[in-house]
């Protein structure tokens, strides 16, 4: 979950699952032009031995971009819950990378506790 991905980048060739865009900007170009989302996806899962950049930590996995913000702008607690619900509803994720920074307060801590309990119960 982050600010999107560069779907055409060779590091993600034949590895992308259907993206979920929760920004409300459906139909617009979903490419993250500022780089945070693609950078996090690359560190996690970039193709190896393709003559481009680095190899990701898990270079054989499939990637589903869950776009929760544009340009790293803040999100509300409701948006955060919807994002986690969308991820858990996919039902096909073994690893979830939540690369969106933000402070933790009581409200967000309770959200994280809620979704982590749901994720663990999934198995």
- What is the total count of domains within the chain? 1
Q: Which domain does 112 fall in, by range?
A: 10-122
In a domain, 1, yes or no: no
For 71-114, give the secondary structure using H, E and C: CCCCCCHHHHHHHHHHHHHHCCCCCCCCCCCCCCCHHHHHHHHH
In a domain, 4, yes or no: no
pLDDT digit of tens for each residue in the chain (123 aa)? Answer: 888 888 888 898 888 998 888 887 765 556 776 788 888 889 999 989 888 888 999 988 999 988 888 766 778 878 888 888 888 888 888 788 887 766 777 888 888 888 888 877 755
In a domain, 97, yes or no: yes
In a domain, 118, yes or no: yes
CATH of the domain at 23: 3.40.50.200
Which residues, 6+ apart, have CB-to-CB distance to 92 below 8 Å?
17, 64
In a domain, 5, yes or no: no
């Amino acid at each position: 979950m982050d600010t999107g991905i560069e779907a055409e980048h060779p590091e993600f060739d034949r590895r992308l699952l259907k993206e979920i865009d929760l920004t409300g900007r459906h139909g617009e170009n979903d490419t993250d032009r500022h780089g945070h989302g693609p950078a996090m996806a690359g560190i996690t899962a970039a193709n190896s031995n393709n003559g481009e950049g680095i190899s990701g930590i898990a270079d054989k996995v499939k990637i589903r971009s869950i776009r929760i913000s544009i340009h790293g702008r803040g999100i509300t607690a409701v948006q955060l819950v919807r994002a986690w619900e969308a991820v858990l509803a996919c039902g096909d994720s073994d690893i979830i990378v939540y690369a969106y920074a933000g402070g933790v307060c009581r409200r967000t801590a309770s959200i994280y506790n809620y979704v982590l309990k749901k994720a663990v119960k999934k198995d």
